[in-house]
C-alpha cells in the first residue's frame, strides 16, 4: 500500500520529467534594425493580413519604424482604411469560422502568447514558419513539424519551395522556391521580428528607461551614503 501511494505521488513528476519538449531554432534578434522590421511589415500585410488581423496596432504606429505617413499609405495599406485605424481585416469572425472551420487568431500578441519553457515566442514562430511540409492527407495539403495537423496552409511556400518529410522524418527541400534557404530564413526572421515588435512597440524605450532608472538609483545610493557618512562622522 505504501509503495502504491508513493507511485501515485511521484507519477506526475516522472511524467513531466520524461516529456519531450519541442526543439526550437533561435530566432535572430532584429529589433534594432528598422530596415528588417519594415521588410517584416511588408511581408505581414501581403501574406498575413488577409486572414489574420492585428487589431491592437494602428497603421499610424508603423511610423515608429522610420516610415512616413505617405510611405505607409502607398506600401502597407491596400484597403479604404484610414491611417489612424487599427489593422483589421474585412472578414467577420463568424464568416471565417464557417469558411475555415476555426477563426484565425489575431496576431498582435502572438509572439508573447507562444512563449514557453521550450523557448521564446519568437523562437516558436521562427521555427514554425520554416517547418511546413507537403502532406496530401491534410485538407490544405500541408502539415507542420512543430504544429501537427495545423489548419493553416503554408502561405509562404512560393518563397521557400516544397518541403517533405524523408524516411528519417527530417525536412527535405524537394522543390526550391523563389528564395534560397538563407534568403528565406532572413525573410522569416524579419517577419517574426515585426510580430515581436507589434506585441510591445515600446520595448526598446522600456529597456533604455530601465537602465536609466538603475543608473539613477546607483547614483542616489552613492550620494545617500556620502551624506550619511558626513552626517554621522562626529557621532560615536
pLDDT higher at 114 or 12 = 114
Average pLDDT score, the chain:
88
pLDDT at residue 52 in the model: 94
pLDDT of 130 reads: 97
3-state secondary structure of 123: helix
When pLDDT is cut at 50, 70 and 90, the band that residue 149 belongs to is: very high
Let me know if 189 is exposed, middle or buried by CB neighbors in 10 A (0-12, 13-18, 19+). buried
Please check the confidence at residue 1 and state whether its pLDDT lies above 60: no
Question: What is the pLDDT, as a whole number, of residue 111?
Answer: 95
53-111 pLDDT per residue, tens:
999 999 999 999 999 999 999 999 988 889 999 999 988 888 888 888 889 999 999 99
Cα–Cα distance for residue pair 139/127, rounded to 1 Å: 22
Residue 134 — φ and ψ, nearest 5°? -70, 130
State how far the Cα of 151 lies from the Cα of 185, in Å rounded to an integer. Answer: 22
pLDDT at res. 113? 95
How confident is residue 5, by pLDDT bands cut at 50, 70 and 90?
very low
Architecture of domain 22-229 in this structure = Orthogonal Bundle (1.10)
Domain boundaries, the chain: 22-229
Amino acid at each position: 500500500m505504501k509503495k502504491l501511494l508513493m507511485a501515485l505521488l511521484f507519477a506526475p513528476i516522472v511524467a513531466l520529467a520524461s516529456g519531450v519538449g519541442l526543439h526550437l531554432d533561435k530566432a535572430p534578434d532584429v529589433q534594432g534594425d528598422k530596415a528588417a522590421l519594415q521588410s517584416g511589415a511588408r511581408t505581414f500585410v501581403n501574406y498575413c493580413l488577409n486572414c489574420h488581423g492585428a487589431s491592437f496596432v494602428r497603421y499610424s504606429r508603423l511610423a515608429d519604424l522610420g516610415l512616413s505617413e505617405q510611405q505607409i499609405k502607398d506600401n502597407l495599406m491596400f484597403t479604404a482604411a484610414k491611417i489612424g485605424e487599427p489593422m483589421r481585416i474585412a472578414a467577420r469572425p463568424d464568416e471565417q469560422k464557417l469558411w475555415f472551420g476555426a477563426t484565425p487568431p489575431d496576431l498582435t500578441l502572438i509572439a508573447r502568447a507562444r512563449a514557453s519553457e521550450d523557448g521564446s515566442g519568437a523562437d516558436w514562430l521562427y521555427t514554425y514558419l520554416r517547418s511546413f511540409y507537403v502532406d496530401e492527407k491534410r485538407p490544405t495539403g500541408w502539415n507542420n513539424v512543430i504544429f501537427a495537423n495545423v489548419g493553416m496552409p503554408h502561405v509562404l511556400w512560393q518563397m521557400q519551395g516544397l518541403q517533405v518529410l524523408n524516411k528519417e522524418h527530417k525536412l527535405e527541400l524537394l522543390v526550391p522556391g523563389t528564395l534560397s534557404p538563407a534568403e528565406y530564413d532572413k525573410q522569416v526572421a524579419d517577419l517574426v521580428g515585426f510580430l515581436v515588435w507589434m506585441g510591445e512597440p515600446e520595448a526598446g524605450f522600456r529597456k533604455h528607461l530601465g537602465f536609466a532608472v538603475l543608473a539613477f538609483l546607483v547614483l542616489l545610493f552613492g550620494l545617500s551614503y556620502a551624506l550619511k557618512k558626513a552626517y554621522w562622522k562626529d557621532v560615536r
